[in-house]
Amino acid sequence: MTSNQWLQIIAYFVVLLALAIPLGIYMGKVYENKPLFLSKLFGWLEKLIYKLGGIHPEKEMDWKGYALSMLLFNIVGGLILYAMERFQASLPLNPAGQSAVPPDLAFNTAISFITNTNWQFYGGESTMSYLTQMAGLAVHNFLCAASGMATLVALIRGIVRKETKFLGNFWVDMTRGTLYILLPLSLIFTMILIQQGTPQTFGNTVNASLVQPTSYDQPVTTAAGVPVTVDGKPQMTHVVVTEQPISLGPVASQEAIKMLGTNGGGYFNVNSAHPYENPTPFIDFLELLAILLIPAALCFTFGSMVKDHRQGWAILAAMFLLLAPMLYICVQQEQAGNPLLNKLTMGTHGETLADGNMEGKEVRFGIVNSSLWASITTAASNGSVNAMHDSFTPLGGMVPMWMIMLGEVSFGGVGSGLYGMLAFVILAVFVAGLMVGRTPEYLGKKIQTYEMKMASIMILIPPLLVLVCTAVAVATGGNGTNNPGAHGFSELLYAFDSMSNNNGSAFAGLSATTLYNLMGGAAMWFGRFWLAIPVLAMAGSLAKKKAVPESAGTLPTHTVLFVVMLISTVVIVGALTFFPALALGPIVEHLKMVRM
């Protein structure tokens, strides 16, 4: 790595930390219902929402009530979104005349957006109307992020509170999270995006006259769409193109929440690689910050709510240390480039982007920002991309795959990342307890059979989904892959890895089939809610317990020793589960590449 690359990465993490600390402490106040500066501005709106929604904010819920609200809310939201996609052709704000989304794709997309996955088996600018994008997809970008944070906050309350069954009110947590955290950040970010060049308009596609006209050969077809052949060869016509159709839309407002809520569903097909979604290096830097901002800040929210900031720091340190070595490998591999191409260009292992693996990358981001993005978008469950992971070098592309395989706990999704990590914390505390022969406890609460069962479900469900779905996809012929051999397998493994863990990034060469749409939809659903329900069950059980006073036998959970325990637990579970699958995909492809 060059000194400039080190500098860019260090600057990124320093600024991230500087922003995450105050935001995290502020978010703690939001969820502890403390008075805020913003509640002077938006307090009336908060009250109005409760009134319109028929909610009694002072009424707290037990874990079952909380879970029921969360589930029903997501089911209702998903059904409405599905209907909006199916009927978009007859709804307003559709200047480009997009037709109804097919049922299997609409199913997949609806689940994708309510589960914070934002997997996209479609190209936005060629599939979705303006209305579906902004009043359907973008609304769920807010709501599923708020829902993830609410679930986490319920778990934290379960840890903090003693001998009660109440965990808070789901509707209040949703409203406050959206109104006081997500919306204000999005408002600011949208304005910066527009200033830098991201469009925000309801105008239709603009046809620009090309500076130099271009042309292409198109197969001739009959009226029924059958290709015409002459002497067995398909007949072609030469089409001259003088105009470039430029798709526009209300992009900036959607881009802001897509980055902040670890959603990642792009307005355009190529996501944040599109010059309109991500116009400049400055915006790229801000979008990178937005990916990890809330997941990192939540560690400080956790610290302030449990009244021990060392606990938040310890978890943040573990998250960072899981990411850092992978980030290094990714940058190093992409800069070293593809030896098969270097042979052709007579290039060397140089230090500029003109020497690295530039297939599927944009010049303004270069090697380092493309690799940084790939690593952190999969560490967090954002899943947006600014480069095509499918065209990364084998080991460079294995990094995002591996970060997802860890279960989206190194930062992870807003809310879901930290509650996933807390499941690993409980497992680590339990393992440590077995070693020294004491009843495990965490932050003054005894960890017993019930908590262990719930944590185990949370840790085992995603790998099960990944491996079963990939196996089914391969056994049914592995259709739709864009590349032959080991790389085709990697495309399938990445797809179900990404969907089961609610990430949403892709080896995007893979095409949708009805099977993938339906199976993937199911994987996203279970990957989200079969984790969220055990979290709430665990929260309910912890809240009922008495506090155990700290004693000499208590394992401190803020020490370097514990951070190492925690990292080892996450890595061992991930490595044992996925090493065989990785050996069949990226590892074998790497060995093939260096010997070709």
Binding residue for another protein, selected from 17, 25, 36, 80, defined by CB under 8 A: 80
Positions 110 through 149 that interact with another protein (CB under 8 A) = 123, 125-126, 134-136, 138-139, 142-143
Asked if residue 298 lies in contact with residue 415, where contact means CB atoms within 8 angstroms, the answer is yes
Determine, following the binding rule CB under 8 A, whether residue 92 of this chain makes contact with another protein.
Answer: no
Binding residue for another protein, selected from 391, 505, 541, 569, defined by CB under 8 A: 391
Determine, following the binding rule CB under 8 A, whether residue 572 of this chain makes contact with another protein.
Answer: no
Binding residue for another protein, selected from 76, 434, 548, 561, defined by CB under 8 A: 76
Binding residue for another protein, selected from 183, 185, 380, 536, defined by CB under 8 A: 183
Task: Spell 272-284 as b/e; 16+ CB within 10 A means b.
Answer: bbbebbbbeeebb
Minimal distance in Å, beta carbon 246 to another protein? Answer: 4
Minimal distance in Å, beta carbon 350 to another protein? Answer: 9
CA distances from 358 to 365, 368, 399 (A): 10, 11, 17
Distance CA 210, CA 213 (A): 5
Q: Which of 444, 442, 519, 440 is nearest to 479 (CA)?
A: 519
Binding residue for another protein, selected from 92, 162, 201, 572, defined by CB under 8 A: 201
Determine, following the binding rule CB under 8 A, whether residue 589 of this chain makes contact with another protein.
Answer: yes
Minimal distance in Å, beta carbon 451 to another protein? Answer: 26
Binding residue for another protein, selected from 119, 121, 166, 171, defined by CB under 8 A: 171
Binding residue for another protein, selected from 85, 104, 173, 390, defined by CB under 8 A: 390
Determine, following the binding rule CB under 8 A, whether residue 10 of this chain makes contact with another protein.
Answer: no
DSSP state of 548: P
- In the shown chain, the binding pattern of residues 290 to 319 toward another protein, with x for contact by CB under 8 A and - for none, equals ------------------------------
Positions 221 through 240 that interact with another protein (CB under 8 A) = 239
Binding residue for another protein, selected from 1, 17, 25, 68, defined by CB under 8 A: 68
> Judging by beta carbons within 10 Å of its beta carbon (0-12, 13-18, 19+), is residue 239 exposed, middle or buried?
exposed
> Judging by beta carbons within 10 Å of its beta carbon (0-12, 13-18, 19+), is residue 80 exposed, middle or buried?
middle
Nearer to another protein, 146 or 447 (CB): 146
Binding residue for another protein, selected from 41, 89, 206, 434, defined by CB under 8 A: 206
CA 379-186-179 angle, 5° bins: 105
Nearer to another protein, 181 or 319 (CB): 181
Structure tokens at 453: 């069962």
> Judging by beta carbons within 10 Å of its beta carbon (0-12, 13-18, 19+), is residue 453 exposed, middle or buried?
middle
Q: Hey, which residues does 469 pair with through a beta bridge?
A: none
Determine, following the binding rule CB under 8 A, whether residue 276 of this chain makes contact with another protein.
Answer: yes
DSSP state of 380: T
Tell me the window of 268-276, 401-409, 420-428, 519-527 that interacts with another protein (CB under 8 A): 268-276
Half-sphere exposure of 58 (CA within 13 A, CB side): 0
Tell me the window of 158-166, 357-365, 414-422, 519-527 that interacts with another protein (CB under 8 A): 357-365
Minimal distance in Å, beta carbon 237 to another protein? Answer: 12
Determine, following the binding rule CB under 8 A, whether residue 287 of this chain makes contact with another protein.
Answer: no
Asked if residue 542 lies in contact with residue 564, where contact means CB atoms within 8 angstroms, the answer is no
CA distances from 176 to 27, 35, 40, 503 (A): 10, 12, 13, 25
Minimal distance in Å, beta carbon 190 to another protein? Answer: 5
Binding residue for another protein, selected from 90, 222, 348, 551, defined by CB under 8 A: 348
The separation between the first and the last C-alpha atoms of the chain, rounded to the nearest angstrom, is 25
Altogether, the residues listed in the chain come to a count of 596
Distance CA 141, CA 189 (A): 15
How big is the chain by its Cα radius of gyration, in Å?
A: 24
Cα dihedral angle (314, 317, 321, 324), rounded to 10 degrees?
170
Minimal distance in Å, beta carbon 171 to another protein? Answer: 7
Determine, following the binding rule CB under 8 A, whether residue 540 of this chain makes contact with another protein.
Answer: no
Determine, following the binding rule CB under 8 A, whether residue 378 of this chain makes contact with another protein.
Answer: no
Distance CA 412, CA 323 (A): 11
Minimal distance in Å, beta carbon 474 to another protein? Answer: 17
Asked if residue 537 lies in contact with residue 415, where contact means CB atoms within 8 angstroms, the answer is no
Task: Spell 540-579 as b/e; 16+ CB within 10 A means b.
Answer: bbbbebeeeeeeeeebebbeeebbebbbebbeebbeebbe
Binding residue for another protein, selected from 22, 485, 553, 556, defined by CB under 8 A: 485
CA distances from 527 to 77, 262, 379, 472 (A): 18, 16, 16, 17
Determine, following the binding rule CB under 8 A, whether residue 533 of this chain makes contact with another protein.
Answer: no
Determine, following the binding rule CB under 8 A, whether residue 403 of this chain makes contact with another protein.
Answer: no
Binding residue for another protein, selected from 214, 221, 514, 568, defined by CB under 8 A: 214
Binding residue for another protein, selected from 98, 115, 369, 371, defined by CB under 8 A: 369
Tell me the window of 389-397, 465-473, 548-556, 565-573 that interacts with another protein (CB under 8 A): 389-397
Positions 21 through 60 that interact with another protein (CB under 8 A) = 49, 52-55
Distance CA 47, CA 172 (A): 10
Nearer to another protein, 135 or 460 (CB): 135
Minimal distance in Å, beta carbon 358 to another protein? Answer: 4
Determine, following the binding rule CB under 8 A, whether residue 453 of this chain makes contact with another protein.
Answer: no
Binding residue for another protein, selected from 354, 561, 572, 583, defined by CB under 8 A: 354
Positions 454 through 483 that interact with another protein (CB under 8 A) = 482-483
Those residues whose C-beta lies under 8 Å from the C-beta of residue 59, and which sit 6 or more positions away, are 169
CA distances from 78 to 83, 114, 194, 496, 596 (A): 9, 6, 30, 21, 48
- In the shown chain, the binding pattern of residues 493 to 512 toward another protein, with x for contact by CB under 8 A and - for none, equals --------------xxx---
Minimal distance in Å, beta carbon 583 to another protein? Answer: 16
DSSP state of 558: S
Nearer to another protein, 33 or 196 (CB): 196
